[in-house]
Structure 1
């Protein structure tokens, strides 16, 4: 009996310590890079300040070096709020049943941010001031397969990409290190 009691006590302590789990169910991807040798490029955030005009065909091209495992997200800073970011593509409905849409295309070398819908040349000066002049776009590069195992363990989707703050939290991004580019 004296030999069994320490074994029972030890197994009880082991079971108790194993069952005490204080994990937070929100997944945070600390280092999702599937290629450990390529840890210097992602995740990356870059702000681009640009005025979209006829001289740049109402678009902006930002050169990048993307891997085939990268995802590009582009957000537009809402001029009405200093801290609100909206995922693009985003459509704005203007007076007279007109629509202006921000969109983007990317490949392994570049991201092109542009407008679609109504001809930007037909915008009023107030509309151009709101939707074309001094626009700030945030380009966020993250891993395409980040957090798959964490997402599989959770019933919730891994991250809502339309929610900028959720993306920052999920990928543990440091906003103080955002590179800003002032384009012409």
Structure 2
């Protein structure tokens, strides 16, 4: 008898669950939320960075070289890493071909007049390379101010995640980005 009442109760429960009644009244609409701010467009995952060489003269008043990325259609994101190297010297390889010697900024030189430093700052719009010294920059010889060449490497941040890249080595940086010497853009200020 006990089993029968359990079976009867289960069947009765299914009967009530399976029955449909008339639909209830519709609910009230909620308020629309506020629109969020648009985010920055991302990359397509194929970006490998950019390298550009600039050459210019440091002149009196500000002793700086100002380079805007837009002039060469270079897109830089706020998260990108911008490194600047100074063409320090040239040497020759075993075949007598010239080999550039690059140094990562800032670079400090000890001169007879005092301490001279090549330094830079950047935004995602531009790079400003400037001279700082503890003496009057007007006393600098032209070898320190005229026809100075700098290599600017724009590296996507995602390319360096978890990397132990030696950033002071411009060749290692270019190899990581997959950029050859022939692909370096040239610009004169």
TM-score (structure 1 length as normaliser): 0.66
Runs (4+) of structure 1 moved beyond 4 Å?
none
Q: Do the aligned partners of 2:90 and 2:100 also contact (CA within 8 Å) in 1?
A: no
Q: Corresponding residue for 1:129? A: 142
Where do 5+ consecutive residues of structure 2 fail to align?
1-41, 70-74, 92-98
Deviation per residue, 1:128-170 (Å, 9 max, x gap): 2321111000111001232425x3xxxxxx2111111221222
CA distance in 2, matches of 1:38, 1:67: 13
Where do 5+ consecutive residues of structure 1 fail to align?
1-34, 152-157
RMSD, aligned CA: 2.2
CA distance in 1, matches of 2:90, 2:111: 16
Q: Do the aligned partners of 1:100 and 1:116 also contact (CA within 8 Å) in 2?
A: yes
Q: Name which one, 1 or 2, has greater alpha-carbon Rg.
A: 2
Q: Corresponding residue for 1:26? A: none
Q: Matched residue of 1:61: which SS?
A: strand
Q: Matched residue of 2:117: which SS?
A: strand
- The reply to whether residue 177 of structure 1 matches residue 187 of structure 2 is no
Q: Do the aligned partners of 1:87 and 1:162 also contact (CA within 8 Å) in 2?
A: yes
Deviation per residue, 1:79-136 (Å, 9 max, x gap): 354510110011011125x11100111112111011001332022xxxx232111100
CA distance in 1, matches of 2:181, 2:90: 20
TM-score (structure 2 length as normaliser): 0.65
The equivalent position to 2:66 in structure 1, one of 61, 79, 93, is 61
Q: Do the aligned partners of 1:46 and 1:181 also contact (CA within 8 Å) in 2?
A: yes
Q: Do the aligned partners of 2:54 and 2:186 also contact (CA within 8 Å) in 1?
A: yes
Q: Do the aligned partners of 1:79 and 1:130 also contact (CA within 8 Å) in 2?
A: no
Q: Matched residue pairs, number?
A: 136
